[in-house]
Homo-oligomer: A and B are copies of this chain.
Amino acid sequence: MIAGFYPAARQPLLIVISGASGAGKDSVLQRMKDRGLPFHFVVTATTRKPRPGEKDGRDYFFVSHERFAAMIEKGELLEHAIVYSDYKGIPRQQVRQALDSGQDVVMRIDVQGAETIRALCPEALLIFLVPASEDEMVRRLKARKTETPQDLQLRIETARQELQRMHVFDYYVVNADAQLDAAVDLIEAIIEAEHHRIHPRRVSL
């Protein structure tokens, strides 16, 4: 490298993978992990009980409601939300440490949480997953649980509203059925491109 001419050393990115319900956030995250990409994937704290096969510290940090309340109280969470009567939150210290070590940090988060991260860290990299069509979105929402038609209608309405928040994000990635790898390829391309900006994002939390 030519001294003095390059941007400062590679800056770690704070990467938020979000998108409306039915956009396939979990599948995308799982594929990114399966590929062994060199990111720190945030481990979320949650009050819900572990499901079979889930491991504390790897899949989630499983904590009591009391502990979670204390984490909120002490400002230990960047962001938190109630999901089906359980709490989920992003531990601030974990994200800071990974960034300090120079690693890109990836978090999967809902649209409202992504907006919170944007407010805390304007230079976070926000990627918005979108389904390829409304049909596909509805099909995914239906597949998720056995619910009443009213529940499903509510989920669809919520997803539509979330889609309207897209303007808060930096990039969109279409996650079509059976094209998961294309979506992950594009996410990798976006991250690689962002690492070659002459004026890199400066992340602080």
Contacts and interface: CB of A to CB of B under 8 A. Distances in A.
Interface of A: 1-2, 5-7, 128, 130-134, 137, 163-164, 166-167, 169-174, 186, 188-190, 192-194, 196-199
Given A193-B189, A193-B193, A5 B166 contact: yes
Given A173-B196, A192-B189, A196-B172, A164 B132 contact: no
A2 B170 contact: no
Nearest to A137: B2
B130 A164 contact: no
Contacts of A172: 6-7, 196, 198
A198 B170 contact: yes
6 contacts: A2-B134, A7-B172, A169-B198, A171-B198, A172-B196, A193-B193
Nearest to A189: B189
A162 to B, nearest CB: 10
